Structure 1
Amino acid sequence: MTRSPGAGLHLHLDPLGGAAGDMFVAAMLDAFPELEPRVMADVIAILPPEAGQAELSRGQSGGLAVRRFALLPNRRGEEAKPRGHQHEHDHGHGHGHHHHATTYHALRTRIETAPLSQGTAAAAAAILHHIALAEAHVHDMPLDEVHFHELADWDALMDVTAAGSICAALEGATWSLTPLPLGGGLVRTAHGALPVPTPATARILQGYEWHDDGIGGERVTPTGAAILAHVTGGTAGTRRGGRLRAVGMGAGTRDLDDRPNILRVTAFAASSGAGADRIVQLACDLDDMTGEEIAAAADALRAHPGVADLVLVSLLGKKGRPATRMELMVYPAAEAAVAAAIFDLTSSLGLRRTELDRLILPRSATISVEGIRVKRADRPSGATAKAESDDLVHAPTLRARRQLAHRTETG
Structure 2
Amino acid sequence: MKAAYFDIFSGISGNMVLGALLDAGLKLDILKKELSKLNISDYELQTEKVVKNGISGTYLKVKLSDDDHCHEDHEHQHGRHLSEIEDLIAESDLEESVKDLSTRIFRRLAESEARIHNTDPDQVHFHEVGAVDAIVDIVGTAIGIHKLGIKKVFASRIHIGTGFGNCAHGKIPIPAPATLDLLQDTPVYSTGIESELVTPTGAAIITTLAEEFGSLPLMQIRKIGYGAGSRNLEIPNLLRISTGKLV
TM-score (norm 2): 0.91
The CA distance in 2 between the partners of 1:225 and 1:208, in whole Å, is 10
What does residue range 34-45 of structure 1 map to in structure 2 within 5 Å?
Answer: 35-45=27-37
**Equivalent residue, structure 1, for 2:24:** 31
**Equivalent residue, structure 1, for 2:56:** 65
The CA distance in 2 between the partners of 1:179 and 1:120, in whole Å, is 26
Question: Shift of the alpha carbon at 1:129?
Answer: 0.9
Question: Shift of the alpha carbon at 1:153?
Answer: 3.0
The CA distance in 1 between the partners of 2:95 and 2:28, in whole Å, is 12
Q: Which runs of 5+ in 1 are unaligned?
A: 1-7, 89-93, 272-411
The CA distance in 2 between the partners of 1:210 and 1:203, in whole Å, is 12
**Equivalent residue, structure 2, for 1:149:** 127
SS at 1:151 equivalent:
coil
Structure 1 residues 267 and 97: alpha-carbon distance in aligned structure 2, compared to 1, 3 A threshold: closer
The CA distance in 2 between the partners of 1:184 and 1:149, in whole Å, is 22
The CA distance in 2 between the partners of 1:30 and 1:86, in whole Å, is 19
Q: Does residue 24 of structure 2 align to residue 48 of structure 1?
A: no
The CA distance in 2 between the partners of 1:254 and 1:29, in whole Å, is 19
Q: Does residue 205 of structure 2 align to residue 205 of structure 1?
A: no
Please point out which of 79, 85, 97 is paired with 2:67. 79
SS at 2:197 equivalent:
coil
The CA distance in 2 between the partners of 1:200 and 1:165, in whole Å, is 24
The CA distance in 2 between the partners of 1:128 and 1:105, in whole Å, is 10
SS at 1:269 equivalent:
strand
**Equivalent residue, structure 1, for 2:102:** 124
Please point out which of 225, 244, 247 is paired with 1:268. 244
SS at 1:119 equivalent:
helix
Structure 1 residues 173 and 203: alpha-carbon distance in aligned structure 2, compared to 1, 3 A threshold: same
The CA distance in 2 between the partners of 1:80 and 1:226, in whole Å, is 27
Question: Shift of the alpha carbon at 1:16?
Answer: 2.1
8 A contact 1:9–1:174 mirrored in 2: yes
8 A contact 1:184–1:217 mirrored in 2: yes
The CA distance in 2 between the partners of 1:238 and 1:17, in whole Å, is 16
**Equivalent residue, structure 2, for 1:252:** 229
Please point out which of 3, 11, 18 is paired with 2:4. 11
The CA distance in 1 between the partners of 2:43 and 2:219, in whole Å, is 40
Q: Does residue 188 of structure 2 align to residue 218 of structure 1?
A: no
8 A contact 2:63–2:71 mirrored in 1: no
SS at 2:48 equivalent:
strand
The CA distance in 2 between the partners of 1:118 and 1:32, in whole Å, is 22
**Equivalent residue, structure 2, for 1:134:** 112
Structure 1 residues 165 and 72: alpha-carbon distance in aligned structure 2, compared to 1, 3 A threshold: same
The CA distance in 1 between the partners of 2:143 and 2:214, in whole Å, is 22
Question: Shift of the alpha carbon at 1:237?
Answer: 5.5
Q: Per-residue displacement from partner, 1:298-345 (whole Å, max 9, x unpaired)?
A: xxxxxxxxxxxxxxxxxxxxxxxxxxxxxxxxxxxxxxxxxxxxxxxx
TM-score (norm 1): 0.56
In structure 2, give the amino acid aligned to 1:162.
G
**Equivalent residue, structure 2, for 1:229:** 207
Q: Per-residue displacement from partner, 1:229-282 (whole Å, max 9, x unpaired)?
A: 11114x41663122211100000000012x2100001113124xxxxxxxxxxx
Structure 1 residues 73 and 132: alpha-carbon distance in aligned structure 2, compared to 1, 3 A threshold: closer
Bigger RCO of structures 1 and 2 (CA < 8 A, at least 6 apart): 2
In structure 1, give the amino acid aligned to 2:28.
E
8 A contact 2:3–2:150 mirrored in 1: no
8 A contact 1:132–1:143 mirrored in 2: yes
Q: Higher Cα Rg: structure 1 or 2? A: 1
Q: Which runs of 5+ in 2 are unaligned?
A: none
8 A contact 1:38–1:165 mirrored in 2: no
In structure 2, give the amino acid aligned to 1:186.
F
Question: Shift of the alpha carbon at 1:181?
Answer: 1.6
The CA distance in 1 between the partners of 2:208 and 2:106, in whole Å, is 10
Structure 1 residues 152 and 268: alpha-carbon distance in aligned structure 2, compared to 1, 3 A threshold: closer
Structure 1 residues 58 and 86: alpha-carbon distance in aligned structure 2, compared to 1, 3 A threshold: closer
The CA distance in 2 between the partners of 1:194 and 1:249, in whole Å, is 29
**Equivalent residue, structure 2, for 1:22:** 15
In structure 2, give the amino acid aligned to 1:255.
N
Aligned residues: 247
In structure 1, give the amino acid aligned to 2:239.
L
